[in-house]
Amino acid sequence: MNFYSYLYFLCFALATYVVYLIFPKKARWTVLLLSGTAFYLFENLQLAVFLFAAAVCTFFTGKVLTSLQERFNTEKKELPKDEKKKLKAYYTKQKKMVVLSAVLVNLGMLLVLKYTGFFTYMLAAFMRPFGFSAEVKPLSFALPLGISYYTLQSIGYIVDTYRGKYKAEKNFAKLALFLSFFPQMTEGPIGRYDHLMPQLTAGKGYSSERFTKAAVLILWGLFKKTVISDRASYMASTVFNDYPRYSGTLIAVAVILYTVQLYTDFSGCIDIMSGTARLFGVELSENFRQPFFSKTVSEFWRRWHISLGTWFKDYVFYPVSLSKPFGALTKICTKSMTKFWASIVPTASALLVVWLGTGLWHGADIKYVVYGLYYFLIMLIGMVTEPLWIKLSDKLKLDRKSGIAEGLRVFRTIILVCFGMALFRVDSVTDFGAIIGKIFAFQDLNDIVNGQLFALGTDWQDFIIIGLGILTLLIVGILKEGKKDVLGAVSTGRIYIKWPVLMALIIAVIILGAYGADYGEVDNIYAQF
């Protein structure tokens, strides 16, 4: 989405809001369902069939799972302990079969539509050494809007119903709303049924506080996107699209700018969507928590795209780690390794599965696999060397919790993340290697001062505006770390605080926002998944 798309989107949201308020409280959720359906159908009529298929599959799977659980609960009564155990094993097996089939259907749609080209390419590459030399045309399909997000929501719902976390939804339309709530269709966050459904159906009406909170969040998101992200994108795009022409110094600046662009683009969009959802009394789950204040890469991923990280944790990492094959692996490791390695190897193996999945979720390309492996390797090194660092700092009597030590760890994490972002942005792993080579050659350092820097789409005025924007984000972030929620305080504050801040944000977006004839349109990065 670019600035104008956001305006259309917000007009659509406001129109929905008016109709929503007209409807009686109990029926308001139907307005949200209809608006989500309209939003989706406007986007692509043919592709809507995949969302509908996912909703049907998810709904009936949930019903079957809950009915199996209820049958077990009834039949187990008054059975002796041994018989109960047998009955439980029987029903668990049945439920597992149902879950597996449903996950395969849901995941299958995503795999076929998103990854067919990648898998055929990989298969052809794998077969080449065996004499298979036919030209393979990569197959690619149009992707239904938000498929990578709603598929994960569906799977989460199915697995939670299987685990007995909650009973299945009885109303198909309500389940369809859970999967198609329009503010979270394009970039998430990936919602959980037990968190979203009560809010979606509560039918909360207008309140001045809710409306102001929504407005502040939307304006804050627009500020991030139009004032910071889009300006940073111009130089980043110029350099990344033709990196051999530029020095390592300029590439390093472009890497930093791209990191700024991606963060303010993605978190800005999430703020706009969260603000929109708040109009309807829905609080979407938190997706960012000052990620650039992280002291380790693991912490960064607990603060960045939180809904994806927690999804992988709950539905991949934990079940894989606690599965029987991993239990067996742990036993083998315990017998054949030292205590330290025996605790590391099984965890690292499960982590590898998670990071391969996370990498591939971002896109069907070998570079995304490498992207996942990059973070896996950093975390693995962190796990393996942690005791060493503790011993070393104890010996040298260094205070690991001192301000300087923590500041250095934050700096190290930012550098590692910036390289991760560069890997995410480049066209291929080879390009990534070339870019890193150029950066570490430390040549043409004077490109920063000889005017080259400001001639690549982001001029010196843009740099000043980006700098001030980052400073604003930094101050708000520092205060939030200290449990002082500035945006929340503005929303609930007195009228002489609330309105000047709102006006300042509106003026900042109108005057400093990068839109209009002089600026190119910049699409959201995370909407492409």
Q: Which residues lie near other proteins (CB under 8 A)?
A: 163-165, 298-299, 302, 313-314, 317-319, 321-322, 330, 339, 343-344, 346-347, 350-351, 379, 383, 387, 390
Using the minimum distance from each CB to other proteins, give the nearer residue, 324 or 494.
324
C-alpha–C-alpha distance, residues 68 and 392, integer Å: 56
Using the minimum distance from each CB to other proteins, give the nearer residue, 204 or 302.
302
Using the minimum distance from each CB to other proteins, give the nearer residue, 108 or 407.
407
Residue 22 zone, left/alpha/beta (φ > 0; ψ -120 to 50; rest): alpha
Return phi, psi of residue 268, to 5°.
Answer: -65, -45
C-alpha–C-alpha distance, residues 417 and 420, integer Å: 5
Using the minimum distance from each CB to other proteins, give the nearer residue, 94 or 120.
94
Return the closest-CA partner of residue 424 out of 364, 356, 368, 354.
Answer: 368
Task: Dig out the tokens for 133 from the structure.
Answer: 């030399």
Using DSSP's 3-state secondary structure scheme, residue 279 falls into: helix
How many CB atoms lie under 10 A from the CB of residue 151?
Answer: 27
Q: In the bound complex, what is the minimum distance in angstroms from residue 390's beta carbon to other proteins?
A: 6
How many CB atoms lie under 10 A from the CB of residue 433?
Answer: 12
Q: In the bound complex, what is the minimum distance in angstroms from residue 164's beta carbon to other proteins?
A: 8
Using the minimum distance from each CB to other proteins, give the nearer residue, 352 or 470.
352
Q: In the bound complex, what is the minimum distance in angstroms from residue 288's beta carbon to other proteins?
A: 16
* Rounded to 5°, angle at Cα 321 from 318 and 326: 160
Using the minimum distance from each CB to other proteins, give the nearer residue, 174 or 302.
302
Q: In the bound complex, what is the minimum distance in angstroms from residue 433's beta carbon to other proteins?
A: 29
Task: Dig out the tokens for 432 from the structure.
Answer: 């990534």
Q: In the bound complex, what is the minimum distance in angstroms from residue 526's beta carbon to other proteins?
A: 23
Return the closest-CA partner of residue 182 out of 364, 367, 17.
Answer: 17
Question: What number of CA atoms fall less than 13 Å from residue 104's CA on the CB side?
Answer: 6
Residue 469 zone, left/alpha/beta (φ > 0; ψ -120 to 50; rest): alpha
Q: In the bound complex, what is the minimum distance in angstroms from residue 190's beta carbon to other proteins?
A: 17
Using the minimum distance from each CB to other proteins, give the nearer residue, 6 or 311.
311
Using the minimum distance from each CB to other proteins, give the nearer residue, 9 or 317.
317
Q: In the bound complex, what is the minimum distance in angstroms from residue 319's beta carbon to other proteins?
A: 5
Task: Dig out the tokens for 163 from the structure.
Answer: 């685990």
8 A C-beta contact, residue 150 and residue 175: no
How many CB atoms lie under 10 A from the CB of residue 426?
Answer: 21
**In 230-291, where does DSSP find H-type helix?**
230-241, 248-279
8 A C-beta contact, residue 262 and residue 424: yes
Q: In the bound complex, what is the minimum distance in angstroms from residue 313's beta carbon to other proteins?
A: 5
8 A C-beta contact, residue 164 and residue 21: no
Q: In the bound complex, what is the minimum distance in angstroms from residue 454's beta carbon to other proteins?
A: 40
Using the minimum distance from each CB to other proteins, give the nearer residue, 319 or 467.
319
Q: Which residues contact 444 (CB under 8 A, 6 or more apart)?
A: 247, 248, 249, 250
C-alpha–C-alpha distance, residues 473 and 87, integer Å: 57
Q: In the bound complex, what is the minimum distance in angstroms from residue 295's beta carbon to other proteins?
A: 9
Using the minimum distance from each CB to other proteins, give the nearer residue, 299 or 459.
299
